[in-house]
Structure 1
Amino acid sequence: MSIDMTMMYVLHDALRRELDRIARLTETPDGLLKATVTWELFTTYLHIHHTSEDDALWPALRKVVPETDLALLDAMEAEHAVIDPALAAVESSGFDDLAENVAVLRDRLTAHLRHEERETLPLIAATLPEEEWARFGALHRQRVGDDTARYLPWMLDSAADDLADRVLNSLPESIRTAYRDDWLPAYRAIRVTSRESDTSRES
């Protein structure tokens, strides 16, 4: 059985999507309040994702990859390290420098995700034991915890139907039912303000 990275790619797409929304919403003072929920969800799940990689995925890879690939893992950790101050800069921004700081964050994060997808995910597929991948996934799920009710619809928001179906079909029936009947409607309710802003700017 090979490692299924569908959820990793869907999560990366969600992070890129949210940064695009944040960039649009923070272009005008009226959009700042509307960006609050988007920013809170984005930073919460980015933190969980990156700390889970730092604590479980990179150390497990270091034990199995050839020595020539250790520099790639060093690069992954270094890229995480420069994203943190970019997040802090956005948090402390006034309106005048907010757009510039969001752009810096977007450049750093999208470059990191692109690098990870191009080089690190193939390395994981080729070298990481399935039990270590499962351990990383378990830690990630543990850290999301009770927030799964927000995390899952957030992650699948705007995902292609086939990818969303693959993610949902990998989950227990009880989770799929809760997602369809409760979690997705609740998520849509909290996101309506930012969605209205997106729509108004695109019309």
Structure 2
Amino acid sequence: MSAMSDTSMNTNMHAAFKREIRRVQSGLAKADLADGAARDNLLRRYDFFSETLHHHHKGEDTYLFERVKPKADPSEVAVLDQMEAEHGELLEILTTVDTGFKSLSDATDKDVLNDQLDALFTVLSQHCEHEETQGIGIVQRYITQADMKEFMKFTRDAAQANLVLPWVCDGAEPAVSSQVWGMIPGPVRLFLKPTMTRKYDTFSQECGV
């Protein structure tokens, strides 16, 4: 049995990243960029997305793709190399968008920044489909329990990890929410779900997005 028997969280994270780009675009369209507080709140929301995406890809590169390469055959290694190359391409686009959000002002061209977000959405969507149809199956085939344990610890150590689960559920179908919260043992979930959800709701309200 694979140490990664369930890949639903990976798929659900991908969907959440794509929803978040659209959410940020909506916030950008509505924001009064002449208002310093509005700029700060929009940047805070975007930073959460950017940091979470970067952390997710760093975890995959370090604890999944590189760990299984020595066991994979040449054709599988080629796919894993493509996964990492796509992460690099995404990082280049993300860095451009990061710069745009960190320099928000009343002179910011919203159309340019929105187009950059569209480009990020397109490349991210293509990568997610490639990973879900080809990459993750290779990881499942070779990943060890020890590697998965390290990957999960790295994931939990993200700066705003306490926001991630309710964020993945935001805008998702009820079945997805059940999958996400179902990963946590019942007694622990009774405490964590409302606590984490309140924190995420407060974060969203404060950001206004």
Match of 1:172 among 185, 191, 194: 185
1:24-173 equivalences in 2 (<5 Å): 24-27=26-29, 29-30=31-32, 33=39, 35-93=42-100, 94-96=108-110, 97-141=112-156, 143-144=157-158, 147-173=160-186
How far did 1:42 drift? 0.6
Cα deviations by residue, 1:14-56 (Å, 9 ceiling, x for unpaired): 1111011122222355377353333122112111101111111
Cα deviations by residue, 1:92-112 (Å, 9 ceiling, x for unpaired): 233252112111211221111
Structure 1 regions of 5+ residues with no counterpart? Answer: 198-203
CA distance in 1, matches of 2:6, 2:49: 23
Q: Which residue of 2 aligns with 1:201?
A: none
Give the TM-score of the pair, scaled to structure 1: 0.82
CA distance in 2, matches of 1:140, 1:88: 21
Q: Kindly report the root-mean-square deviation, in angstroms, between the aligned alpha carbons of the 2 structures.
A: 2.4
Cα deviations by residue, 1:165-195 (Å, 9 ceiling, x for unpaired): 2222221345413333322122112213666
Q: Identity over aligned residues, as a percent?
A: 24
- CA 1:128–1:186 in 2, change beyond 3 Å: closer, same or farther? closer
Q: Which residue of 1 aligns with 2:7?
A: 5
User: Which moves more between the two structures, 25-34 or 64-73?
Assistant: 25-34
Q: Does 1:21 align with 2:36?
A: no
Describe the SS at the equivalent of 1:102.
helix
Describe the SS at the equivalent of 1:171.
coil
Structure 2 regions of 5+ residues with no counterpart? Answer: 101-107
CA distance in 1, matches of 2:115, 2:200: 29
- Structure with the higher helix share, 1 or 2: 1
How far did 1:70 drift? 1.2
1:52–1:139 CA contact under 8 A, matched in 2: yes
1:149–1:183 CA contact under 8 A, matched in 2: yes
Q: Which residue of 1 aligns with 2:104?
A: none
CA distance in 1, matches of 2:183, 2:150: 16
User: Which moves more between the two structures, 102-111 or 31-40?
Assistant: 31-40
